[in-house]
Amino acid sequence: MNNELPATDPRVKLLAAKIKKENFKPDALIEILHSAQNSYGYLPMNVLAYIAKALHLPPSRIYSTVTFYHFFSLKSKGEHTCLVCTGTACYVKGAQAILNELEKKTGLKAGQVSADNKLGVQVARCIGACGLAPVVVLDDEVQAKVTTDEIINKIIDKIGTK
Amino acid sequence: MNTIDIKINERSLKVLPGITILQACRDNGIDILTMCHLKGLSDVGACRLCLVEIEGINKLLSACTTRVASNMVIRTDTEKIKRYQRITTELFFAERNHVCSVCVANGNCELQELGYKVGMDHIRYPFLFPECKVDTSHQYFVMDHNRCIMCTRCVRACSEVEGAFNWDVKNRGFQVRVISDFDTPWGESITCTSCGKCLQACPTGALWSKDVVQGQLEKHPEMITELVEKRKLLLT
Ligand code: SF4
Ligand code: FES
Ligand code: FES
């Protein structure tokens, strides 16, 4: 594991600023993890090591916290993410068919990331936008009342091929 | 000193306020089954073996984390409690791979003893047979997750007594595992001081020293209690 984070990386600057803003308080671990995951998309091991050092927290405590909350992820979710809501409202409006089609077209199952790390497919149970069902979230952008073709086209726009 | 009146199994007792029900029982020679409790360490109520019935409260409470209150009427010996203890014990055995006959701790294991104590003759639950690692990367010690019952005594001994914080717990539910540092091999730990306190704290054959032979393991959890007691000398 390469422990050093490149100081020139804007994400590292952001992280350092956040830690400073929280006064290096161990209690702020969750907030700091939140902001790290926001800028990295997930929590790489060297980022966790960096946080452990800065806050004087045991690695085991940090790892325990990260794996306790489903929100945190240790694995990259892909450069682009496509999240299909399978909550009740979206399900009724055909979310499952969208998901099936998407899985077939991309060759990825929900929860998987493509080998080139370009695309990750996820599911969620109700994102709280039921009026817009069926909902797909592409890179944090909510796509309302979608059809499979629309989504596939948008994905192609984003990642080029496939 | 001020005392309060409580009743345990019909016996009227005078006890110090603020102590746990467990301590009140132990001080008065009343037997109570425990697993995650280790005197000297904080109590977390993880194993659910020390459940007691308290008059006026319709759920069972863990004696190790519930404090006495005046005029509390406590029972430790009802059929209901015995039934639960039996279930809990069976679940311990069903959750991972406890094969006593090939375990280093055979004959010296708190879990095995517990099985005898609650009269467990068979297990009514399907075994989960999870795939568990055996971490032999440490120079002197072994961590066999197959035998771990997640009492977290090692975690607390390591953090509260040694202050090293090598151990913690990852995940949730039946996915929980004891971890070293970033879930990295124990032998690569940057926090472990190789003090061996976790080995003494562990009630089962999950943590042991490489120099013991099968069935020859000896554990001394009371060493942890002693350490905590003696440390108080520094404060006086
Ligand atoms: S390794 Fe031993 S002491 Fe640690 S949680 Fe497992 S059974 Fe308990
Ligand atoms: S069910 Fe999809 S947003 Fe509520
Ligand atoms: S000893 Fe009380 S819950 Fe384990």
B188: nearest CA partner in chain A: A1
3-state secondary structure at position B179: strand
| Ligand 1, atom nearest to B167 Cα | 4
pLDDT in tens, B111-138: 999 999 999 999 999 999 999 999 999 9
Q: Is the minimum distance from the CB of B54 to ligand 1 under 6 angstroms?
A: no
pTM for the structure as a whole: 0.84
Q: Do B179 and A64 touch (CB under 8 A)?
A: yes
pLDDT in tens, B206-221: 999 999 877 788 899 9
Domain match, A63 and A110 both = no
Domain match, A39 and A100 both = no
Q: Is the pLDDT of residue B1 over 80?
A: no
Domain that holds residue A109: 80-159
Residue with CA at minimum distance from ligand 1 atom 8: B151
Q: Is the pLDDT of residue B23 over 50?
A: yes
Q: What are phi and psi of A78, to 5 degrees?
A: 100, 155
Chain A CB within 8 Å of residue B181 CB: yes
B170: nearest CA partner in chain A: A64
Q: Do A63 and B179 touch (CB under 8 A)?
A: yes
What is the number of the ligand closest to the CA of A93? Answer: 2
Contacts of B159 in chain A (CB under 8 A): 58
Q: Give the CA dihedral B158, B160, B164, B168, nearest 10 degrees.
A: 60
**Residues B4-77, CATH architecture:** Roll (3.10)
Domain match, A51 and A117 both = no
pLDDT in tens, A4-26: 788 888 899 999 999 999 999 99
Give the total number of structural domains in chain A: 2
Tally Cβ neighbours within 10 Å of residue A49. Answer: 20
Residue A74 domain-assigned? no
Give the C-alpha separation, A115 to A78, whole Å: 9
> Is domain B84-235 annotated with CATH 3.30.70.20?
yes
Q: A52 CA distance to ligand 1 centroid (A)?
A: 24
Domain match, A103 and A141 both = yes
DSSP one-letter string for B208-223: EETTPPTT-----THH
